[in-house]
Structure 1
Amino acid sequence: MHPMLNIAVRAARNAGQVIVKGFANPDNTETRAKGQNDFVTNVELDAENAVVNTLRKSYPEHTIIGEECGELTGSNPDYQWVVDALDGTANFIHGIPHFAVSIALRVKGRTEQAVVYDPIRDELFTASRGAGAQLNGYRIRTGKAKDLTTAVLATGFPAKQKHHVDAYLGMFKDLFVQSSDIRRAGAPSLDLAYVAAGRVDGYWELGLKPWDFAAGSLIAREAGSIVTDFVGGHNFEQSGNLVCANPKVLKIMLSTIREHLPESLSN
Structure 2
Amino acid sequence: MMKNNKKNILDALNFALDLSYSAGKILLKYQTKLSSLEITSKQAQGVASTADLASEKFIMKQISKKYPNHDILAEESAYAQFGDAKEAYQVFKEREWTWVIDPLDGTNNFLNGLDYYAICISLLHFGKPVLGVVYRPSNGDCYYASSFGESRFSNLTKSPKSKKLFSKSNKKKLSEAMLSTGFVTEKGKCFDTEFDQFVQIMKKSRGIRRMGSAALDLCLVASGVFDGFWESGLAPWDMAAAGIICEQSGVKVTDFEGRPFQPFTASILAARPPFYKELKSQFKR
1:236–1:242: 8 Å Cα contact kept in structure 2? no
Superposition CA RMSD, Å? 2.0
1:5 matched to 2:13 = yes
- Do residues 180 (structure 1) and 206 (structure 2) align? yes
Provide the secondary structure at the position in 1 that maps to 2:30. Answer: helix
Contact 2:243 2:261 in 1 (8 A): no
C-alpha distance in structure 1 between counterparts of 2:147 and 2:99, whole Å: 15
**How many angstroms does 1:239 deviate by?**
3.5
The share of aligned pairs that are identical, in percent, is 31
SS in 2 for 1:103: strand
1:119 to 119, 137, 143: 137
| Among 91, 109, 115, the residue aligned to 2:109 | 91
Paired letter, 1:84: D
Contact 2:182-2:230 within 8 A present in 1 as well: yes
For the 8 Å contact 1:210–1:240, the answer to whether it is kept is no
Match of 2:173 among 136, 147, 156: 147
The farther-off stretch of 217-226 and 6-15 is 6-15
The whole-number CA distance in structure 2 between the counterparts of 1:222 and 1:77 is: 23
Matching residue of 2:186: 160
Shift in Å, 1:168: 1.4
Relative distance call for 1:27 and 1:170 in structure 2 (3 A) is: closer
Instruction: Answer yes or no: is the 8 Å Cα contact 1:195–1:245 preserved in 2.
Output: yes
Q: Tell me how far apart the structure 2 counterparts of residues 6 and 36 of structure 1 sit (CA, whole Å).
A: 31
Q: AA paired with 1:121? A: N
Tell me which amino acid in the other structure corresponds to 1:101.
I
SS in 1 for 2:73: strand
Separation of aligned partners in 2, 1:243 and 1:191: 12
Residue equivalent to 1:39? 47
Deviations 1:12-41 (A, max 9, x none): 111101101111211231101135752110
SS of aligned partner of 1:68: coil
Cα distance in 2, alignment partners of residues 63 and 176 from structure 1: 40
Q: Which deviates further from its counterpart, 225-234 or 32-41? A: 32-41
Deviations along 1:104-159, whole A, 9 cap, x unmatched?
00112221111000000100100011410001121002562432122100000133
Does 2:280 match 1:254? yes
Preserved contact between residue 143 and residue 219 of structure 2 (Cα < 8 Å)? yes
Task: Tell me which amino acid in the other structure corresponds to 1:132.
Answer: E
Q: Give the secondary structure class of the aligned counterpart of 1:247.
A: coil
| Separation of aligned partners in 1, 2:184 and 2:175 | 25
Residue aligning to 1:265: none
CA distance in structure 1 between the partners assigned to 2:16 and 2:207 by the alignment:
34
Deviates more, 1:15-24 or 1:227-236: 227-236
The corresponding residue for 2:5 is none
SS in 1 for 2:185: coil
Q: Alignment length, in residue pairs?
A: 256
- My pick for the range that moved more, 129-138 or 63-72, is 63-72
Q: Is the 8 A contact 2:227 2:272 kept in 1?
A: yes
1:38-57 correspondence runs (5 A): 38-57=46-65
Amino acid at match of 1:225: V
SS class of match (1:230):
coil
Match of 1:234 among 242, 252, 260: 260
SS across alignment from 2:42: strand
CA separation in 2, counterparts of 1:40 and 1:196?
28
Distance in 1 between residues matched to 2:171 and 2:281, nearest whole Å: 16
Q: Is the 8 A contact 1:142 1:195 kept in 2?
A: no
TM-score when normalising by structure 1: 0.90
Determine if the alignment matches structure 1 residue 27 to structure 2 residue 53.
no
How far apart are residue 253 of structure 1 and its match?
1.4
Q: Which residue pairs with 2:229 in the alignment?
A: 203
- Of stretches 116-125 and 164-173 in structure 1, the one that deviates more from structure 2 is 164-173
1:81 pairs with 2:99: yes
**Alignment-derived partner of residue 264 in structure 1:** none
1:69 pairs with 2:95 = no
- Whether the 8 Å CA contact 1:22–1:28 is kept in 2: the answer is no
Measured in 1, the distance between the counterparts of 2:189 and 2:128 equals 32
Q: Provide the C-alpha distance between the structure 1 equivalents of 2:136 and 2:146, rounded to a whole number of angstroms.
A: 18
Q: Is the 8 Å Cα contact of residues 70 and 99 (structure 2) preserved in structure 1?
A: yes
Moved more, 176-185 or 137-146: 137-146
Q: How does 1:100-115 map to 2 (within 5 A)?
A: 100-115=118-133
